[in-house]
Amino acid sequence: MLSPAAQGDERIDAVAHALADGTRRGLLRLVRDGERAAGDLAAAFPGMSRPAVSQHLRVLHEAGLVSIRPNGNHRLYRARTEGLAEVWRFIDEMWADRLARLKQAAEQAARRESGHDGE
Amino acid sequence: MLSPAAQGDERIDAVAHALADGTRRGLLRLVRDGERAAGDLAAAFPGMSRPAVSQHLRVLHEAGLVSIRPNGNHRLYRARTEGLAEVWRFIDEMWADRLARLKQAAEQAARRESGHDGE
DNA sequence: AAAGCATGTAAGAATTCTCTTACATAGATG
DNA sequence: CATCTATGTAAGAGAATTCTTACATGCTTT
C-alpha cells in the first residue's frame, strides 16, 4: 500500500477547507440559486468588513466553488456546486460498500486480535 | 433572513476542517472498515512523526469522526462515518431542488438586472 | 474629464494549525 | 518490581488563516 493519503485527493483539500467556515458556507448558500454581486453578498454579513467577505469569496473561487462574471461595475458570483463532488465522493467512499467490507473487516480484526494483539 | 451562516451549522466546522487534510482523510480510510491501533496507523505515514499522527487522530476524534476503544496497551480507532452526515447534508442542500429553484433564480436575476443593475 | 460607486489588493496584527522533540502515563512482561 | 511497549501531552517554532484599515483600479455617470 502506498501512502494512504495520496490517492485521488489534491483539490479536495481546498474544497473541504473552503467549507470549514460558516461565512463561506453562508456565501455559498446565497449564490446557490443565482448570481449576486460582491457588495450585495457583503451586506449579508453585517458583523464583518467588506474586504473580509471579498477574501472569503476569493477562497471559494480558488477552490472552484464559485464562478465570477464581471458585469459593468459589479462582479457577479455564482455557486459552482460541481466542485463539491470531490468531497461528496470522499464521503461516499467512506459510506459505500460498508456491508460488503464487513466480512473483510471481521477477518482483519480477528487476525489482529488473535495473531498480534490477543485481548 | 437571519445571518446566512447561522443555520444548522456548528459542528460542521470541525468536521469539514478535519476533512481538509490529506493525512486525516488517509487515517479515516484506514479505520473505515475496522479498528486499528494508533501505532499501526502512525506506521502508515512514514514521513511523519508518531505524535503528529496522534494529534491528527485527536482532531478526528474531537470532530466525532472516529471512536476510541482502549484495549490493553493499545488504543483502537474506528471511523464513525455518521459524523460525515452534516457535511453531506450541506452538499445535498446545495444540490437539492436545483431545478425547482431555477425559475425563482431566473426571476431574481431578471429583477436584479433590469430593476437595479441594467447591463 | 471629474467625481462617485463597486470592488479587489496590500500590509499587518492576532489567532490558529501543524509539525518536531522531549517528557509523562499506563498496561504488559520478564 | 523493573522494564519495555504503546500512547498521549507539553512546549515551542514556523506557516497559514482571518480579520482590519488603508489604498489601488476601473466602470459609470454627469
Note whether B53 and B45 are within 8 A (CB). Answer: yes
For residue B17, give the nucleotide whose C1' atom is nearest its CA: C17
Report H helices in chain B.
11-19, 22-30, 38-43, 50-62, 85-95, 102-112
Residues in CB range of A58: below 8 A, 6 or more apart: none
Does A95 contact B117 at a Cβ distance shorter than 8 Å? Answer: no
Looking at residue A96, its pLDDT comes to 82
pLDDT at B112 over 90: no
pLDDT at B76 over 70: yes
Instruction: List, in sequence order, every residue forming a beta bridge with A76; answer none if it has no partner.
Output: A37, A69
Which of A48, A26, A62, A74 is closest to B109 using CA atoms? A74
Looking at residue B109, its pLDDT comes to 52
For residue A17, give the nucleotide whose C1' atom is nearest its CA: D17
The C1' atom of C4 and the CA atom of A23 lie apart, in whole Å, by 29
Question: Mean of the pLDDT values across residues B39-61?
Answer: 97
Question: Mean of the pLDDT values across residues B14-37?
Answer: 97
Asked if strand C contacts B46 at the CB level, meaning under 7 A, the answer is no
Q: Distance between CA B93 and CA B45 in Å, rounded?
A: 35
The C1' atom of C26 and the CA atom of B72 lie apart, in whole Å, by 9
Asked if strand C contacts A50 at the CB level, meaning under 7 A, the answer is yes
pLDDT at A18 over 90: yes
Q: Which grid cell sits at B42?
A: 502512525
Nucleotides of D under 7 A from a protein CB: 5-11, 17-22, 26-29
Q: Which grid cell sits at B2?
A: 437571519
Looking at residue B96, its pLDDT comes to 84
